[in-house]
Structure 1
Amino acid sequence: MEGMSESENVSTMPEWEQRFRAPRVSLPDWAEDAPDRSLFVSNATGTYELYAWDRSSGQQRQVTDRPNGTTDGVLTPDGEAIWWFSDTDGDEFGVWMRQPFGGGEDEPAAPGLAPSYPAGLAIGRDGSAVIGRSTDEDGTTVHLVRPAGGAGSGGESVEIYRHRESAGVGDLSHDGALIALEHTEHGDAMHSALRVVRPDGSTVAELDDTEGGTKELGLAVLGFAPVAGDTRLLVGHQRRGRWEPMIWDPVAGTETALPVDLPGDVGAEWYPDGSALLIEHSFEARSELWRYEPGASGPVRVETPAGTVSGATARPDGTVEYLWSSAAQPPVVRSTSGAVVLDPPGAKAPASVAVEDAWVEGPGGRIHALVQKPAGDGPFPTVFEIHGGPTWHDSDAFASGPAAWVDHGFAVVRVNYRGSTGYGRAWTDALKHRVGLIELEDIAAVRDWSVKAGLADPQRLVLAGGSWGGYLTLLGLGTQPDAWALGLAAVPVADYVTAYHDEMEALKAMDRTLLGGTPEEVPERFEASSPLTYVDAVRAPVYISAGVNDPRCPIRQVENYVDRLAARGAVHEVYRYDAGHGSLVVEERIKQVRLELEFALKHLGGGDVLGA
């Protein structure tokens, strides 16, 4: 690939490092009216950056080159330009830039708009763009930016939406006449309502399943039909207790239910000619694809291997491209034609071990956990690797972090606690008000099971995670101090009140939804859910890593927690790095995993971390 360095000879390195260094690629996006022009993300230079790919010539070109990486980019419908989001060292606050597809100078895509957090982007065929912005001062605003002509900078922007609560741009219709917005004006940041507006901001239609916030039912924009003059909008809804698609025509005022009766959550996108839907089905930590033609009695299976499809897209020739992996097998971009679509040069990531499913009865219902274990007989030192979100879930997908622990003789348990997606709306919504404490009840139930089953050594249990998983780690160390031998928290919420006041506006709205108000309105809930409340009870050694530019789990609240640990002489280490909510630099990711491994082996005992 042009712009990509030769792969380092990594054959003599430990396998856990090889997995991180192996070149990876994302599922390529493609321009709607120029499908041979694609955009993807790769770590081939050692930093995750955007790449342009001309499929007709085979040429690949690095688009961005920044010290802390770039992953947010969009192709214009004609494939002539790439929009990419430029922030500062991972702080997620910045502006959209534009670069010609074939290369050239970057320029501000909407020079009239001040920096902000992004809140969606849709680009029209006439060169106009609908840009969503979020700031602490204004809440969410949406702007229509008309082209100034040719390949020059964007023209004047017009504000067409403003509200204090969180919102975002969903999609723009094929002809640019309709704009779909997701909003939470009712005050429930977990359940969006939809509004379709004209380019002047006037309302065409509303779709709100929350009934003003009195019902916990959400909607999501999945996309306008990709056909000129077609006003149908594909929408995700939760009316039957899970995510599934329907077709809403905001102009005709009709809703069409789809007979896609699959367990678990169901998403969808249009085939390029609008004749069918590509169904993405997630159930019990695995996913699969289906094709559905409106009017048919049901969907038809699109064959994919067992594991996780992390993204899929239907191509104009009717084939489907998808990014697939399993816990044992590294990711690859495949096609239903049988071909590997995009195979990066260089060494391949070593395989890991498959996951086993565990179902454990918990206080709120049956809990699903994924288990990976090393060779030999247990009980093993065991890492409970807790996912972030919280509205996310662990799946049977390749992950270099858990694989590194297995390489070092640890079992790894990942728990899809209440709050996780993929198990129905009631499971996802269950954690309100007793935030953190509910998730930890589920983690405790799986922990007890793992010890009774002979999997986990009760004297060597590690609680670990990043983001919301880092938050649950610190909260668990304080509320369950006798249960854990060690804690590893990456980019965590540590002091919930200070985090609320310092975090980006969209996350403030989410916290108000989860806890039922602000720290001033419900102080007892913030206190009960804050790790800082229980810091003096922490007995286990704790390792914390944090990005100094993190807008999601800001550094000041982490320092407050660390100061309390230090004041009482608690065993702890802190690693601060110059980035935001995680790093896009491969060597930095490896360094962070190495530091966690060294800390664990130092305090629990084990082999040589560098030689494993």
Structure 2
Amino acid sequence: MTTEHPPAVIPDRLFDDPAAETRWRARFHAPRLSVPHWAIDAPDKNIYVSNASGVWEVYAWDRATGEHRQVTDRPNGTLAATTAPDGESIWWFNDTDGDEFGSWVRESFTGGHAERAVPDVHDGYPAGLEIGRLLTAIGVSTDDGSELFVHTNGKTERFYASKDDAGIAALSRDESLIAISHSEHGDSRHPAVRVLAANGFATVAEKWDGEGKGLTPLEFSPVAGDSRLLVLHERRGREELLVWDIEHDTETELSLDLPGEVTAGWYPLADALLVVHFHEGRSSLYRYDLSARELSSLDTPKGRIGGAGVRPDGTVEYSWSSAARPTVIRARAADGTDSVLLTPPGEPAPGSAPVVDAFVEGPGGRVHALVARPLDAPEGPVPTVFTLHGGPHAADEDRFSAYRAAWLDAGFAVVEVNYRGSTGYGTAWRDAIEGRPGLTELEDVAAVHDWLVHSGLADPAKCVVSGASWGGYLTLLAIGTQPDRWAAGVASVPVADYVAAYEDEMEQLRSFDRALFGGSPESVPDVYKKCSPITYVDAVRSPVLVLAGDNDPRCPIRQIENYLDRLATREIPYEFYRYDAGHGSLVIAETIKQTAAEIHFALRALGN
């Protein structure tokens, strides 16, 4: 770092009212957990992730005994984990301080020493893992590209290598077939799928739908000897399902009468699919009978499904929340009875305000946004924060968010825009940002901003733009290209200097960027310049807070320093918060500290 940047102010408290101060912190501290994942041959052996210790870590749950055990205990937390099919071991990804570069380790389900799972596979970024009873397929990505390995009978063999992005996608139940996702055609955003024989690695089948149409292999049938592979396709302008029978070289497209987009997983007997449907910021569950070709709703409440699976007895276990109600893990029995499955220890999170839909005509079509207003807000315009989601291929949802709730408690209306580039609104909407990323999304944000000001909800002099990752990138780009709209910007783990970011980021993201921008910075320099926040740093007029992790492989620290060094030459108030982790933090105390810094900064920028 060449310049000493002003540090962020971390307030001791956000609110003078003790009840309000307790409430916003309690939402972050409240124990949460994910939907359990069980071993396919030992369904009593389960794992999940939870923040019960104050850090997101992996836990084991033996349903037969009722015992819960914390598996991992690392300073910066652990999220990536799975079980062996027999339930005897737990695998989790061991990186360094959140840098996402490392290796898979394995330990007994009952506890003990963790050891490197496959010693002769080198470290890298994870690119898929499928564990069988007799063989394991592991994907690794480095700056040199992608490598895929099989480990069996004590021997490890590399069976695939490419400079392009690729990964392990699925392993058939009898372990005779391996499905991989690849981008040898040069577009990692629209991958192809290849199925290889596990014995000898000959190509058994191949499928690519052509330019601009991705295929995503999800999982093989859970029945041994059944070679059907469940795949997502986008042949009709949105993500839909097909079942590909590898042995007979036939496929069946599933035409479901549902708006929006879907994904799915198998029921245990492979006679049906558990379909997760996403439409306009909300998700729901359905059962699709493959023989009868009938779709039936599981009648989940309006909100967000955060994960779901089907137990051997047909019980569907799922995570659910809404903007107003915290996450719960529920179980829906085959007879339709629905109950709470797991309740974490401690007090539940306090509720928050609901979100309402806004549909605004933008330059590329109708833009969907979710709007929440403080429950005790006075009539008329209020300070408003636009929290822009990351991805960009993701979407904001009607889900519980302690972060959103904290802004609401501070008196801000919160606006979440599913701009072009977001998922769930069709292929054309998602891919509309190609060749002009960042600037395209901000046109949609501007349309929503205008509508909110004209509707009387947002105070035009008190609008803040905020986001993390891609949302942080959009935030810095917004304050440079739309300086009249924003009273302050809060950018967490952003792309700030796109050329430098490309040079330092992980290879998977370089591959993504080439597909999104139309090439590398060397081949399309004008596009990168036009779409990079550092290009517009001299136009910034509003106060800026930037937060960044030292070990971030996605939005590396050097390119953020480049931007801040340029900002430091201007008479613009700004602050910098730097922390020892990667692309965000899994430590609850750290998350609270950063949230307090962000809201406190915004309040000061608005003169509050």
Q: Shorter-chain-normalised TM-score: which range? A: over 0.9
* SS of residue paired to 2:502: helix
Give the residue type in structure 1 aligned to 2:216.
A
| 1:558 partnered with 2:564 | no
| 1:106 partnered with 2:108 | no
Gaps in structure 1 of 5+ consecutive residues: 1-9, 148-154, 607-612
> Of 514, 526, 539, which aligns to 2:541?
539
Please state how far the C-alpha of 1:297 moved relative to its aligned partner.
Answer: 3.7
Please state how far the C-alpha of 1:448 moved relative to its aligned partner.
Answer: 0.3
Residue 3 of structure 1: aligned partner:
none
Residue 137 of structure 2: aligned partner:
130
Residue 442 of structure 1: aligned partner:
444
* SS of residue paired to 1:567: coil
Give the residue type in structure 1 aligned to 2:94.
S
Residue 262 of structure 1: aligned partner:
258
CA distance, structure 1, for counterparts of residue 246 and residue 19 of structure 2: 57
Residue 66 of structure 2: aligned partner:
58
Residue 172 of structure 2: aligned partner:
173
Give the residue type in structure 2 aligned to 1:591.
K
* SS of residue paired to 2:475: helix
Residue 428 of structure 2: aligned partner:
426
* SS of residue paired to 1:339: strand
Within 5 Å, give how 1:32-43 maps onto structure 2: 32-43=40-51
Instruction: Report Cα offsets for 1:438-497 as digits up to 9, x if no partner.
Output: 000000000000000001000000000000000000000000111100000000000000
> Retained in 2: the 8 A contact 1:303–1:336?
no
Residue 191 of structure 2: aligned partner:
192
Residue 7 of structure 2: aligned partner:
none
Within 5 Å, give how 1:271-420 maps onto structure 2: 271-337=267-333, 338-374=338-374, 375=376, 376-420=378-422
Moved over 2 A (4+): 10-14
> Retained in 1: the 8 A contact 2:233–2:239?
yes
* SS of residue paired to 2:133: coil
> Retained in 2: the 8 A contact 1:77–1:125?
yes
Instruction: Report Cα offsets for 1:496-527 as digits up to 9, x if no partner.
Output: 00000100000000100111111111000000
Please state how far the C-alpha of 1:13 moved relative to its aligned partner.
Answer: 4.6
> Of 521, 524, 545, which aligns to 2:523?
521
> Retained in 2: the 8 A contact 1:503–1:553?
yes
Please state how far the C-alpha of 1:252 moved relative to its aligned partner.
Answer: 1.1
| 1:143 partnered with 2:139 | no
Residue 482 of structure 2: aligned partner:
480
Please state how far the C-alpha of 1:257 moved relative to its aligned partner.
Answer: 1.7
CA distance, structure 1, for counterparts of residue 291 and residue 360 of structure 2: 40
Please state how far the C-alpha of 1:259 moved relative to its aligned partner.
Answer: 3.3
- TM normalised by structure 2 equals 0.95
CA distance, structure 2, for counterparts of residue 177 and residue 297 of structure 1: 28
Give the residue type in structure 2 aligned to 1:248.
W
CA distance, structure 2, for counterparts of residue 221 and residue 378 of structure 1: 49
Give the residue type in structure 1 aligned to 2:96.
T
Residue 208 of structure 1: aligned partner:
208
| 1:470 partnered with 2:472 | yes
User: Which shows bigger deviation, 296-305 or 584-593?
Assistant: 296-305
* SS of residue paired to 1:450: helix
CA distance, structure 2, for counterparts of residue 271 and residue 485 of structure 1: 51
Instruction: Report Cα offsets for 1:83-126 as digits up to 9, x if no partner.
Output: 00000000000000001001111000011111100000000122
> Retained in 2: the 8 A contact 1:80–1:101?
yes
Give the residue type in structure 2 aligned to 1:433.
G
> Retained in 2: the 8 A contact 1:246–1:256?
yes
User: Which shows bigger deviation, 192-201 or 364-373?
Assistant: 192-201
CA distance, structure 1, for counterparts of residue 136 and residue 571 of structure 2: 54
Residue 80 of structure 1: aligned partner:
88
Residue 151 of structure 1: aligned partner:
none
Please state how far the C-alpha of 1:569 moved relative to its aligned partner.
Answer: 3.0
CA distance, structure 1, for counterparts of residue 607 and residue 354 of structure 2: 25
> Retained in 1: the 8 A contact 2:271–2:291?
no
> Retained in 2: the 8 A contact 1:259–1:298?
no
Please state how far the C-alpha of 1:421 moved relative to its aligned partner.
Answer: 0.2
CA distance, structure 2, for counterparts of residue 488 and residue 13 of structure 1: 21
CA distance, structure 2, for counterparts of residue 117 and residue 578 of structure 1: 19
CA distance, structure 1, for counterparts of residue 475 and residue 452 of structure 2: 18
Residue 152 of structure 1: aligned partner:
none
| 1:601 partnered with 2:603 | yes
Give the residue type in structure 2 aligned to 1:393.
A
Residue 127 of structure 2: aligned partner:
119
Please state how far the C-alpha of 1:339 moved relative to its aligned partner.
Answer: 2.0
CA distance, structure 2, for counterparts of residue 451 and residue 13 of structure 1: 30
Instruction: Report Cα offsets for 1:139-180 as digits up to 9, x if no partner.
Output: 001000114xxxxxxx33100111111011111000100000
Residue 609 of structure 1: aligned partner:
none
CA distance, structure 1, for counterparts of residue 289 and residue 296 of structure 2: 9
Please state how far the C-alpha of 1:195 moved relative to its aligned partner.
Answer: 0.1
* SS of residue paired to 1:392: coil
Give the residue type in structure 1 aligned to 2:382.
F
CA distance, structure 2, for counterparts of residue 12 and residue 417 of structure 1: 32
> Retained in 2: the 8 A contact 1:191–1:219?
yes
* SS of residue paired to 2:176: coil
Residue 162 of structure 2: aligned partner:
163
Please state how far the C-alpha of 1:201 moved relative to its aligned partner.
Answer: 2.1
Residue 14 of structure 2: aligned partner:
none
Residue 248 of structure 1: aligned partner:
244
Give the residue type in structure 2 aligned to 1:359.
F
* SS of residue paired to 2:294: coil
CA distance, structure 2, for counterparts of residue 31 and residue 388 of structure 1: 32
CA distance, structure 1, for counterparts of residue 117 and residue 417 of structure 2: 42
CA distance, structure 2, for counterparts of residue 259 and residue 466 of structure 1: 36
- TM normalised by structure 1 equals 0.94
Q: Say how many residue pairs are matched.
A: 584
CA distance, structure 2, for counterparts of residue 442 and residue 11 of structure 1: 37
> Retained in 2: the 8 A contact 1:385–1:414?
yes
> Retained in 2: the 8 A contact 1:125–1:174?
no
> Retained in 2: the 8 A contact 1:11–1:18?
no
> Retained in 2: the 8 A contact 1:541–1:603?
yes
* SS of residue paired to 1:45: coil
* SS of residue paired to 2:538: helix
Instruction: Report Cα offsets for 1:286-306 as digits up to 9, x if no partner.
Output: 111110111224201112111
CA distance, structure 2, for counterparts of residue 435 and residue 257 of structure 1: 32
Please state how far the C-alpha of 1:11 moved relative to its aligned partner.
Answer: 7.8
Please state how far the C-alpha of 1:570 moved relative to its aligned partner.
Answer: 1.9
| 1:217 partnered with 2:213 | yes
Q: 1:19 to 1:197 in 2, by over 3 A?
A: same
CA distance, structure 2, for counterparts of residue 378 and residue 321 of structure 1: 43
CA distance, structure 2, for counterparts of residue 107 and residue 470 of structure 1: 37
Gaps in structure 2 of 5+ consecutive residues: 1-17
Please state how far the C-alpha of 1:250 moved relative to its aligned partner.
Answer: 1.8
Instruction: Report Cα offsets for 1:172-194 as digits up to 9, x if no partner.
Output: 00010000001111111110100
Question: What is the aligned-residue RMSD (CA, Å)?
Answer: 1.1
Please state how far the C-alpha of 1:12 moved relative to its aligned partner.
Answer: 8.4
CA distance, structure 1, for counterparts of residue 202 and residue 544 of structure 2: 53
Residue 6 of structure 1: aligned partner:
none
Q: Which has the higher contact order (CA 8 A, sep 6+)?
A: 2
User: Which shows bigger deviation, 541-550 or 184-193?
Assistant: 184-193
CA distance, structure 1, for counterparts of residue 22 and residue 422 of structure 2: 33
Residue 16 of structure 1: aligned partner:
24
